[in-house]
Amino acid sequence: MSKKQVFTLALNGKEVEVLAPSGATLLDVLRDKLSLRAAKRGCNQGVCGACTVMIDDVPVRSCLTMAGACEGRCITTLEGYADDTVMRELQEAMIASGGVQCGFCTSGVLITARNLIAENPIARNDEIRSALSGNLCRCTGYVRIVEAVAKAAKEVAP
Amino acid sequence: MSLDLDIPDGIAVGLSIPKLENREKVTGRAEFIDDLYRSGMLHAAILGSPYPHARILSYDVAEALEAPGVVGVLTGDDVPASRMGAFIKDEHALAKGKVLYLGEPVAALAAETLEQARAAVNLIRVKYEELPAVLSPEEGLVDDAPILHEHLDDYLKVFDTGSKGNLCSRTELSEGDVDTAWDACALIVEDEFTTAPQAHVAMEPCGALADVDAQGRVTLWSSNQSVFRVQANVCESLDLPMSKLRSLTPRVGGGFGNKMESHIQPLTVALALKTGRPVKCILTREEDFEIVRARHPFKIRMKTGVDSQGKILARDCEVLVDCGAFADDSPGVMGYALLMAGGPYRIPNMRARGQLVYTNKLRFGAYRGFGNPQVTFAGEQQIDQIARQLNIDPIEIRRRNILKEGDRWFAGPKIASNGLGRCIDAIEEASSWASCPSSKMPLGKRRGRGLALTAHISGLLGTGAIVRMLEDGTISLNTGATDIGQGSDTVLAQICAETLKIPINMVSVSSPDTDGSPYNWGTTASRVTYTTGRAVAGAAREVVRQIMEHASEILDVPIEYLELRNGGRVAAKGANEDLPFAAISGRAHWAKGGPIVGSHTLVFEEPTHDPKRAIALGLPFPRIGVFSFAATLVDIEIDEVTGQTQVTEAWSAMDVGRAINPRLVEVQIEGGFVQGMGFALYEEMIWDGARLANPSLMDYKIPTSADAPPIHSIIIEDPEPDGPFGAKGAGEIGLNAVPASIANAVNACCYGVSKALPLSSERVLARILEDEDAS
């Protein structure tokens, strides 16, 4: 039985303390301890991207990130973007385009897309495809996801 | 793009309404099975068999039971002798007496935490007597092969399977006289083809959560494609009356056949019954690869003969299919593949035979396309081969042979609507077929174009709908059809809204629940829009009938002088004054007649087989469905140095009768295309002896956004007379022709035929090197 440990996380703009096994991943802590379940466990190996969250300004696989390594860093999950203009445009574009099918990959896709727009507001379609290539989707064939990201980027372009 | 702009859009049907549940999915609030929690809930872990074939001698669970947090252990001794199965009842809730594949769940336990469960499960000791394993269908058919199911003769079977030894089932269909037809042929092509096992890889791994109430009644949530098949399988395998189990569904994270029959629901329920506590069991991605199900590898021998004009005179198709350890949907998959082996063509002399053989691997089962992509891969290459040898354009040879109005499908099914010719026209135009741009060839690259046609059924079995008018005149729709993300809740609500002439936001869709929903066989066989849509339209029409009766009495106007107006109102024709649904529903609830409820149920009844035209032996589906059609075209580029094949652009035209929601049809085309592209180019489950060698997303690659090409989705609407607003299915057909079209494109680049899937870099490079050696 692994020992438990108190983690202090800056999560979605608030400081939280959580008691979890010392070997817990960030995804374990988010889902099981904090009931933040937008991030999904699709493979637990860092491949599918369904568990993507932001740590500081970098999208990461929370299933491969030890919770202990997140102390003192800013973590943002999809729930933390409720008031974010760019995220709202992305969400509306995904709803309208057909980019949401089963929805299991959607949270991770949105986090990655939000980061892409921040880094490259005028991304071309091939750049969008490349940026999203770490977020697997088995339903859509990606056409409408790419379309939605391009549309949202255009909407929020400065 | 819809080519049928002359069909007017209604108030809901024909509109690309965003899916009703999209908002909860984009905010992360949608609850999938692993997002559900119950107070006091335990977590399960599964122990897999270390052998592909062994007798279970004994269990020792003492150490596991003493481990921290463990509440209960389940072994084969705890489950009844009863067996479940869609076609052959050959499977226990948990291995009992024998294990039949490596990784098969042989024991499970429930503990306070997942960590405790995973740590303790390896403390369960099982003694085995290892038996020789059968790892291929050929091995399974030899005289002295080890027998997997020693009591196969005693199992309950739902059709004439012809089971014997390791032969799970055999099917034979024949029309005309194939054996003598070859004499009249000007050209005959014949080859053997193999296809690879493909993993479903729904992004959500399978899972279940079971709870037992004080009366011993079970409530079960699970990732599924049919709450009713879950209920049937669990109750059959655990000897529970169906009334003692309530089956529900959360949102489902994708389903491609893998979640249709049961996966771990039976053992999860058994653990909950044993511990008296709620138990959640969620598979790891590795377990999801190893113990659920996969697409069948096929060995196909196909022979096609034509006259000098390329008119098909005969085809003979023989398949050998790996069943895996349990029959599951396999007899149906093989039978359906044989029915589809001729493709959408007039073939006067046609025979299709198959053998399905048990092996010591995980069960193969339903997977989008249901055996059709495999036989289409073979058949459509032969059409191209014939075209090339007779110097006929690939589109032209298909036009000469396709089924026309009034033709029946192989073995006898009626075809009511057939938009295949228009699919071909649309593809030809959209892709500028006549001026194919493949001449500009960059150095070290080869470019090619490939076409393939397909048809697919939508239909099968029973379904129902209940439409209730609430006191305020809004509508509650309950069908029992699980929406697996494809959007059936939205499509069914559109059909309901259109029939009642109300905006879709006046309709709420109930989540499937065996306690309250009418029976629905499942979200499978491309059937929900067509069959459940018919039930919804029927139930909504019944509501309209009752509304009209009320309105007639209130307004004192005969029904034939009344009209239903958009927005939930009834009026005398031409009158200004009208009655809102709320007034009618209020009267029904409180004064006259009783609350308005419409219900409608149906079962697909058209026979598959016409004994006057065909001989059929071991046909698993006596009544099958109506036909959708599609044409798929790809442009590819092959790297001559690596053999890597990239699809650079794709066109797919699909006759869906009527697109209730065009955008959702387009996404079926696109999603099906990319899944088929993975199957065509790189997806392959590889066994190292008895062990699956690549059960992870690191070693089993599926297409990413960087691999997927631009796809032009074209909707063709040739209305199905009895479909809801003319609709027929769209769920699977978009995948069927993809491997064949890519193979035909590769064949355009390299000499010869693509005999094996996947068309991996190694295989394509070998073809290129052969070409270079030959020249």
B704 vs A: CB within 8 A: yes
Say yes or no: A96 and A70 in one domain.
no
Instruction: Please list every residue in chain A whose beta carbon sits closer than 8 Å to the beta carbon of residue B255.
Output: 102
**Closest Cα partner for B54 from B96, B93, B98, B95?**
B98
Active site residues of B: 732
Let me know whether A73 and A96 are in one domain: no
Residues A67 and A120 occupy one common structural domain: no
Mean pLDDT confidence for B642-648:
97
Nearest CA-CA distance, residue B603 and chain A, Å = 28
Q: Is the peptide bond before B758 cis (omega within 30 degrees of 0)?
A: yes
B30 closest CB neighbour out of A82, A94, A103: A103
What percent of chain B lies above the pLDDT cut of 70?
Answer: 98
Same domain, A149 and A96: yes
Confidence of residue B439 (pLDDT cuts 50, 70, 90): low
Identify all chain A residues contacting B704, using CB atoms and an 8 Å cutoff: 132-134, 136, 142
Task: Give the residue-averaged pLDDT of A60-84.
Answer: 96
CA distances, A4 to each of A32, A124, B40, B67, B553 (Å): 14, 46, 20, 18, 72
Please give, rounded to a whole number of angstroms, the shortest distance from the CA of A85 to a CA of chain B.
Answer: 13
- Cβ–Cβ gap A136/B697 under 8 Å: yes
| Helix-then-strand count for chain A, H and E | 5, 5
* Whole-angstrom distance, CA of residue B538 vs CA of residue B541: 5
Q: Under an 8 A CB cutoff, do A139 and B486 touch?
A: yes
Q: Is the dihedral of CA B120, B123, B127, B131 positive or negative?
A: positive
Interface test with A, best of B705, B712, B714, B735 (most A CBs within 10 A): B705
Does the beta-carbon distance from A42 to B205 stay under 8 Å? yes
Q: What is the CATH number of the domain that holds A120?
A: 1.10.150.120
Assign B87 a pLDDT band (cuts: 50, 70, 90): very high
Q: Is A143 in Cβ contact with B204 (below 8 Å)?
A: no
Contact B663 A98 (CB under 8 A): yes
Answer with the one of A77, A108, A128 that is the final residue of a domain.
A77
Q: Do B26 and A37 touch (CB under 8 A)?
A: no
Q: Hey, is the C-beta of A19 within 8 angstroms of any chain B C-beta?
A: no
- In the predicted model, is pLDDT for residue B2 greater than 70? no
Which of A79, A97, A138 lies at the smallest CB-CB distance from B702? Answer: A138
In sign, the C-alpha dihedral spanning B141, B146, B149, B151 is: positive
Q: Which one of A50, A98, A142 has the shortest CB-CB distance to B203?
A: A50
Answer yes or no: do A101 and B666 touch at CB < 8 A. no
Q: Angle between the B394-401 and B420-430 helix axes, to the nearest 10 degrees?
A: 170
Q: What is the DSSP string of B397-455?
A: HHHHHB--TT-B-TTS-B-----HHHHHHHHHHHTTGGG--TT---TTEEEEEEEEEEE
Of B18, B68, B487, the CB nearest to A1: B68
Mean per-residue pLDDT, A21-26: 93
B27 neighbourhood in chain A, CB within 8 Å: 38, 78-79, 82, 91
**Residue B656 at interface with chain A, using a CB cutoff of 8 Å:** no
Give yes or no: residues A90 and A70 share one domain: no
Backbone phi, psi, residue B488, to 5°? -70, -30
Q: Is B594 on the interface with A (CB under 8 A)?
A: no
Measure CB to CB from residue A43 to each of B254, B255, B697 and give the nearest one: B697
Distances (CA, A) of B521 to B69, B369, B372: 39, 18, 21
The pLDDT assigned to B440 comes to 65
B291-296: average pLDDT: 98
Measure the CA–CA gap between A141 and B704, rounded to whole angstroms. Answer: 9
Residue from A22, A30, A43 whose CB has the most chain B CBs within 10 Å, to mutate: A43
**Residue A87 and residue A26 share a domain:** no
- Chain A closest CA to B552's CA: distance in Å? 41
Give me chain B's average pLDDT, please: 96
**Residue of chain A with shortest Cα separation from B676:** A141
Which of A77, A102, A130 is the C-terminal boundary of a domain? Answer: A77
CA angle centred on B709, ends B703 and B715, rounded to 5°: 110
Average of pLDDT values for B249-256?
Answer: 98
Are both A150 and A91 inside the same structural domain? yes
Which residue in B547, B540, B553 sits closest to B584, CA to CA?
B547
**Are the beta carbons of A133 and B202 separated by less than 8 Å?**
no
Is any Cβ of chain B less than 8 angstroms from the Cβ of A63?
Answer: no
Contact A42/B at CB under 8 A: yes
The answer on A87 and A73 residing in a single domain is no
Residue of B nearest to A102 (CA): B485
Residues B325/B135, Cβ–Cβ less than 8 Å: no
Which residues does A24 contact at the CB level (< 8 Å), separation at least 6? A7, A33, A66, A67
Interface test with B, best of A25, A28, A100 (most B CBs within 10 A): A100
The predicted structure's pLDDT at residue B750: 93
Tens digit of each residue's pLDDT (9 = 90 or more) over A6-17: 999 999 999 999
- For residue B285, list chain A residues with Cβ-Cβ distance below 8 A: 42-45, 48
Contact B34 A41 (CB under 8 A): yes
pLDDT at B154: 97
Residue B201 forms contact with A (CB below 8 Å) = yes
The span from the CA of B13 to the CA of B529, in Å, is: 12
| Segment 305-364 of chain B within 8 Å of chain A by CB | none
Q: What is the pLDDT of residue B8?
A: 46
Q: Which residues of B138-148 are buried (b: 16+ CB within 10 A; e: fewer)?
A: ebbbeeebeeb
In order of their start, the domains of chain B are 22-29+461-603 (3.30.365.10), 33-131+205-252+259-291 (3.90.1170.50), 298-459+608-774 (3.30.365.10)
Mean pLDDT calculated for residue range B313-331: 98
Whether A47 sits inside 8 A of B696 (CB atoms) is yes
Contact A115/B at CB under 8 A: no
E-state strands within B63-104: 70-75, 98-99
Please tell me the distance from the alpha carbon of residue B646 to that of residue B489, in angstroms, as a whole number. 35
Backbone φ, ψ for residue B598 (5° rounding):
-115, 135
Q: How confident is the model at residue B5 (pLDDT cuts 50, 70, 90)?
A: very low
Cβ neighbours for B741, distance < 8 A, ≥ 6 positions apart: B380, B450, B451, B452, B632, B633, B634
Query: Is B701 near chain A, with CB under 8 Å?
Result: no
User: Which residues of chain A have a CB within 8 Å of the CB of B486?
Assistant: 101, 139
Given a contact cutoff of 8 angstroms between Cβ atoms, the answer to whether B33 and B207 are in contact is yes
From B16, B116, B484, residue closest to A102, measured CB to CB: B484
Contact assessment for residue B464 and residue B538, using Cβ atoms and an 8 Å cutoff: no
What is the mean pLDDT of the segment spanning B704-731?
97
Q: Domain containing A8: what range?
A: 4-77
Q: What pLDDT digit, counting tens, does each position of B667-681 carry?
A: 999 999 999 999 999
Q: Do the Cβ atoms of B481 and B519 come closer than 8 Å?
A: no
The CATH number covering residue A42 comes to 3.10.20.30
Same domain (yes/no): A115, A140: yes
Q: Lowest mean pLDDT of B152-166, B190-204, B437-451, name the range.
A: B437-451
Domain boundary among A42, A77, A112: A77
What is the band of B441 on the pLDDT scale with cuts at 50, 70, 90? confident
B39 touches chain A (CB under 8 A): no
DSSP state of B113: S
Could you give the C-alpha distances from B638 to B263, B380, B642, B738, B769, in angstroms and in order?
A: 39, 21, 8, 17, 13
- Which pLDDT score, from 0 to 100, does residue A157 have? 87
- B379-388 pLDDT tens trace: 999 999 999 9
Residue of A nearest to B731 (CA): A139
* SS3 call for A25: strand
CA of A13 vs chain B CAs: smallest distance (Å): 17
A120 alpha carbon, distance to own chain's centre = 17
Tell me what the mean pLDDT of segment B313-323 comes to: 98
Q: Does B735 touch chain A (CB under 8 A)?
A: no
For B:469-508, CB contacts with A below 8 A are: 484-487
Q: How far apart are CA B220 and CA B218, in angstroms?
A: 6
Which CA distances in Å does B264 have to A80, B209, B237, B246? Answer: 34, 10, 12, 16
Alpha-carbon Rg of chain B, whole angstroms? 27
In chain B, what residues touch A143 (CB-CB under 8 Å)? 666-667, 670, 708, 710-711, 713
For helices A85-97 and A143-156, give the axis angle rounded to 10 degrees. 140
Taking only residues 89 to 128 of chain B, the set having a beta carbon closer than 8 angstroms to any beta carbon of chain A reads 115-116, 119
Residue B437 has pLDDT above 90, yes or no: no
**What pLDDT score does B405 carry?**
84
Q: In the block, which residue shows the tokens 């096994």?
A: A21
A131 and A72 within one domain: no
- Each residue's pLDDT tens digit, B61-71: 999 999 999 99
* B573-587: average pLDDT: 96
**pLDDT value at residue B6:** 41
Which chain A residue has the Cα nearest residue B31? Answer: A37
Asked if A128 lies within 8 A of B25 by C-beta distance, the reply is no
Cβ–Cβ gap B251/A91 under 8 Å: no
**Cross-chain Cβ contact B705/A146 below 8 Å:** yes
Query: A97 contacts in B (CB within 8 Å)?
Result: 663
My answer on whether A10 and A34 are in the same domain is yes
Say if residue A1's pLDDT is above 70.
Answer: no
Q: Does A100 touch chain B (CB under 8 A)?
A: yes
Rounded CA-CA distance B43/B117 in Å is: 7
| Residue A134 sits in the same domain as residue A96 | yes
Query: Phi and psi of B70, rounded to 5°?
Result: -75, 130
Domains: count for chain A: 2
pLDDT > 80? residue B3: no
- Cα-Cα-Cα-Cα torsion A152, A153, B1, B5, nearest 10 degrees, comes to 60
From chain A, the residues in CB contact with B31 under 8 A are: 37
